[in-house]
Amino acid sequence: MQKYTIVVCDHIHEAGLEMLQNDKNINFIMAADEDKEKLLTIIESADVAITRSSTDVDAKFIAHAKNMKAIVRAGVGVDNVDIAGCSKEGIIVMNVPTANTIAAVELTMAHMLSCMRMFPYSHNHLKLDRVWKREKWYGYELKGKKLGVIGFGNIGSRVAKRAQAFEMDIIAYDPYINPSKVTDLDMVYTKNFEDILSCDIITIHTPKNKETVNMIDVAEIAKMKDGVVLINCARGGLYNEEALYAGLTSGKIRFAGIDVFMKEPATNHPLLDLDNVTVSPHLGANTYESQYNIGVQAAENAIAAAKGISYAHAMNLPIDESKIPPFVKPFLEMGQTIGFLETQLNQSQIVTIKVSGQGEIAKYVDSLATFVAVGAMSQISDNTINYVNADFVAKEKGIKIETEALLDSTVYKNLITIKLTTAEGGTTTISATIFDDNVFRIVSIDGFDIEVALKGDMIILKNQDVPGVIGNIGSTLAKHNVNIADFSLARNDKKQALAVILVDNVISDDTLEELLRIDACSSVQYARL
């Protein structure tokens, strides 16, 4: 029985662990309590790893992940996953995007209310210091305050809805959404970041990336209202931490609610010394409900990925399967087969692969190009080529992948054309389509119109269009006991001909050389699909 190893690098819910334990095909290793060096040796045998924010998937991790097919990030943020590094090694990165949304939303509200009422401080005053001093703890109300929401995705939009229930006025900044997502909720949408800076309370819910790090820095804080309240339950560093500290000590920022830090664990962070901050140790996802959902979904997705069944929420695959119409899939498969065929026909260093799509398929030409590249390189690389690393490997090998989308249709509803060029100047151009019978059909080779199924052992022979060639081909193949399964012929107006011969046997080099010696024959190529 085929066994796959799944390593769990951080703590996930028992329900997820049980699923891994109970699957007969899964060899499950719990490594959440192992030290980091030991973890690196454990992952060497892993097919899939499940991680949370405590495990950095960095160059060191990837170097040890020699057998790894996929990483499942049991949560949303992948800022601690080197996605480009994973792609280069063909490792699929998946996350579990919505299972902890509500937990993070509610923690954001808790921080907002805590900041407004200084709740942890009044609580400690009574509980730890045993002081009953009601006059010390006057806070503010959320009602009527203006809330600026940066990032209106799963979490930001739900925070906004809850804040609306508190009768706050919401203004949202998110350049990547349709404004109606905000305005339909009777909230204000802005493209002007300055509008956010004029709010009473600002909360951020973007991913952490080059564009969003230090999104709130010294200059932005200077433009804010005196006494502004800032919340960050997304990622440390979206608010520049030094600027945040300076703003809190000067009193410009009245209070901040912080769940996340640049460097975690953050037990010595300067923000912890301030009395106008509420903090939590990255607890956004820490509810039983969310951890149950994440644990189960992470385990399910890891098992499916280990078995090669599906890659839910893959972030570095060229296609999102849920977003492509069914007619596209066979074209992708056919493109990969043509890539494989053209490499065999040329047997020389590839320099360019140009992939064109005509008709509806043109919209998917980039995904198609990745599939063609996988097919073209599958026999010429020591690395395992897959859809994740194909573009990287092509770049490394100096192969240029070009695409062309021609939305106007040809006589065919959908047509793909793949032209492969080698360093010696050789080229092969094949166009193909699929009709309702679902057969992969070549309709043109190097400008010769021909109709032949894309399958089997194939000889492509070019010759001067003179009498006797077909007979000679037949007798040569018969002499070598080769049975012809199909013979298609095309001619052009330059008195040249091209034959595609599908054969039932493997063809020897001797046979190919003898075919090339036939009078008027100019080239013979052979491929096995």
Ligand X SMILES: O=C(O)CCC(=O)C(=O)O
Ligand Y SMILES: NC(=O)C1=CN([C@@H]2O[C@H](COP(=O)(O)OP(=O)(O)OC[C@H]3O[C@@H](n4cnc5c(N)ncnc54)[C@H](O)[C@@H]3O)[C@@H](O)[C@H]2O)C=CC1
Residues with a catalytic annotation lie at: 235, 264, 282
- Please choose which of ligand X, ligand Y, none residue 231 contacts, taking the beta carbon within 5 to 8 angstroms, the exact cut-off set by kind: none
Beta bridge partners of 7: 29, 49
**Residue 295 interacting with ligand Y (CB under 6 A):** no
- In the complex, the smallest distance separating the C-beta of residue 76 from ligand Y, rounded to whole angstroms, is 4
Which of residues 240 and 431 has its CB atom nearest to ligand Y in the complex? Answer: 240
Hey, which residues does 73 pair with through a beta bridge?
A: 51, 95
CB of 1 to ligand X, least distance (A): 33
391 binds, among ligand X, ligand Y, none (CB under 5 to 8 A by kind): none
Of 104, 160, 228, 430, the residue at the interface with ligand Y (CB under 6 A) is 104
Instruction: Report which residue's Cβ sits closest to ligand X.
Output: 75
| 3-class secondary structure, 331 | helix
How far apart are the C-alpha atoms of 338 and 440, rounded to whole Å?
10
Residues near 108 by beta carbon (within 8 Å), at least 6 away in sequence? 155, 159, 203, 205, 231, 233, 257, 284
For 340, counting Cβ atoms within 10 Å of its Cβ (0-12 exposed, 13-18 middle, 19+ buried), the class is buried
Cis peptide bond N-terminal to 175, omega within 30? no
Q: Which does 150 bind (CB under 5 to 8 A by kind): ligand Y, ligand X, none?
A: ligand Y
Q: Exposure of 263 by Cβ count < 10 A (0-12 exposed, 13-18 middle, 19+ buried)?
A: exposed
- What is the closest distance, in whole angstroms, from the C-beta atom of residue 220 to ligand Y in the complex? 13
Shortest Cβ 14–ligand Y spacing (Å) = 20
Partner in contact with 52, chosen from ligand X, ligand Y, none, beta carbon below 5 to 8 Å by kind: ligand X
Q: Which of residues 283-312 bind ligand X (CB under 6 A)?
A: 284-285
Which amino acid appears at position 179 of this protein? P
Nearer to ligand Y among residue 48 and residue 234 (C-beta): 234
Residues touching ligand X, count (CB under 6 A): 9
Strand order in the sheet with 440-445: 400-406, 350-359, 414-422, 427-434, 440-445, 448-453
- By C-alpha distance, which of 329, 317, 318 is closest to 403? 318
Instruction: Please select the residue that binds ligand Y; options are 284, 295, 339, 375, rule is CB under 6 A.
Output: 284
Edge-first strand order for the sheet with 253-258 is 188-190, 169-173, 146-150, 201-204, 228-232, 253-258, 277-279
Q: Smallest gap, in angstroms, from Cβ of residue 226 to ligand Y? A: 25
Site string (124-153) toward ligand Y, x via CB under 6 A = --------------------------xxxx
**Per-residue x/- track, 385-414, ligand Y (CB under 6 A):** ------------------------------
- Please answer whether residues 204 and 151 qualify as being in contact, where contact means their C-beta atoms are separated by less than 8 angstroms: yes
Judged by beta carbon, residue 207 or residue 474, the one nearer ligand Y is 207
For residue 206, the partner it binds in ligand X, ligand Y, none, with Cβ less than 5 to 8 A by kind, is ligand Y
State the CB neighbour count (10 A cutoff) for residue 193.
15
Smallest distance, ligand Y to C-beta of residue 450, A: 48
How far, in Å, CA of 420 to CA of 427, rounded?
5
Supply the Cα-derived Rg of the chain in whole angstroms. Answer: 31
Q: Considering only CA atoms, which of 427, 399, 403, 524 is closest in space to residue 473?
A: 524
- Own/partner pairs, 181-184, CB within 8 angstroms, 24+ separation: 181/152, 181/157, 182/152, 182/157
**Nearest Cα to 318, choosing from 409, 256, 421, 392?**
392
Give first-to-last CA distance, the chain, whole Å. 29
**For ligand Y, which residue of 285, 306, 401, 527 counts as binding (CB under 6 A)?**
285
User: Of ligand X, ligand Y, none, which one does residue 335 interact with (CB within 5 to 8 Å by kind)?
Assistant: none
Regarding 234 and contact with ligand Y (CB under 6 A), the answer is yes
The verdict on 100 binding ligand X (CB under 6 A) reads: yes
What is the 8-class DSSP label of residue 56?
A: -
**Looking at beta carbons only, is 31 or 199 nearer to ligand X?**
31
Could you tell me the smallest distance in angstroms from the CB atom of residue 214 to ligand Y?
11
Segment 151-180, which members bind ligand Y (CB under 6 A)? 151-156, 173-177
Binding mask 9-48 for ligand X (x = CB under 6 A): ----------------------------------------
| Residue 240 contact, options ligand X, ligand Y, none, Cβ 5-8 Å cut-off depending on partner type | none
Over the window 69 to 98, marking each residue x when it contacts ligand X by CB under 6 A and - when it does not, the resulting string is ------xxx---------------------
Q: How far apart are CA 323 and CA 317, in angstroms?
A: 12
**Nearest to residue 473, comparing CAs of 505, 512, 515, 503?**
515
Nearer to ligand Y, 146 or 413 (CB): 146
* CA angle, 473 then 477 then 481, to 5°: 165
Among 259, 342, 391, 446, binds ligand Y (CB under 6 A): 259
Binding site for ligand Y (CB under 6 A): 75-77, 100-101, 104, 150-156, 173-177, 205-208, 211-212, 233-235, 259-260, 282, 284-285
Binding site for ligand X (CB under 6 A): 52-53, 75-77, 100, 282, 284-285
